[in-house]
Amino acid sequence: MERVMEKKPRDSEMNRLDEFINELRQKGLNVTYQRLLIFKHLMKTKNHPTAEEIYREVIQEYPSLSMATVYKILETLTQHNLIAKVNPLHGEARYDGDPRPHHHLVCVSCKKIVDVPENGLNHLPLPEVANFKVMGYRVQFEGLCDECAGKTEPERPALDTEVTFCGKAPEEVKRPN
């Protein structure tokens, strides 16, 4: 009787880590223990943690790691599209270990971020604006998570400013036909 090995989540994590190492090398970046440690932390969480939250986690395994190094690593990985930076509601940067195109739900009360695996959103037409080349986009839905929805409604700031696209009024933006 032949035994068939099932693919376990651990195998999937190892594959992602191997892919990450290969991408670092292809981009000419050194494979360091600190980079691997931060990526492994991002890979295992779906919370979209802040740099400070990542730091608090990884110093448990690597106590001599500085906050400045964590910031440098996160910025380097973001610049090389190995992770994604998410800025919910114009707040502090949060990081996502999955740089593939996807979108987010953001709780306006507690700032929790949830991935939206909706592929239909990846095919929206890009606007054509004079003197600006649109290279991509991310959709961010705002609302209340289940925990916050059970509480009282949060105060939302009044939107007394005009909505613009890169400083232009909506009627000035050339839209695709």
pTM of the predicted model as reported, rounded to 2 decimal places: 0.64
* Same domain? 17 vs 66: yes
**Model confidence pLDDT, tens digit, residues 22-41:** 999 999 999 999 999 999 99
Rounded to the nearest 10 degrees, the angle between the axes of helix 51-58 and helix 67-79 is 120
Whole-number percent of the chain with pLDDT over 90: 34
* Higher per-residue confidence, 119 vs 103: 103
- How high is the mean pLDDT of the chain? 81
The continuous run of DSSP H or E covering 20 comes out as: helix 9-26
What is the reported pLDDT for 1?
45
* Same domain? 117 vs 176: yes
What is the reported pLDDT for 142?
87
Geometric angle at alpha carbon 20, from 41 and 4, rounded to 5°: 90
**Final residue of a structural domain among 71, 99, 127:** 99
Q: How confident is the model over 107-114, as a mean pLDDT?
A: 86
User: 46 is in which domain, residue-wise?
Assistant: 8-99
* Same domain? 93 vs 27: yes
**Final residue of a structural domain among 49, 65, 99:** 99
Task: Provide the domain count of the chain.
Answer: 2
What is the reported pLDDT for 169?
52
What is the reported pLDDT for 171?
58
**Model confidence pLDDT, tens digit, residues 48-57:** 999 999 999 9
Contact between 43 and 109 (Cβ < 8 Å): no
Q: How confident is the model over 93-121, as a mean pLDDT?
A: 84
**Final residue of a structural domain among 74, 99, 124:** 99
How far apart are the C-alpha atoms of 146 and 111, rounded to whole Å?
12
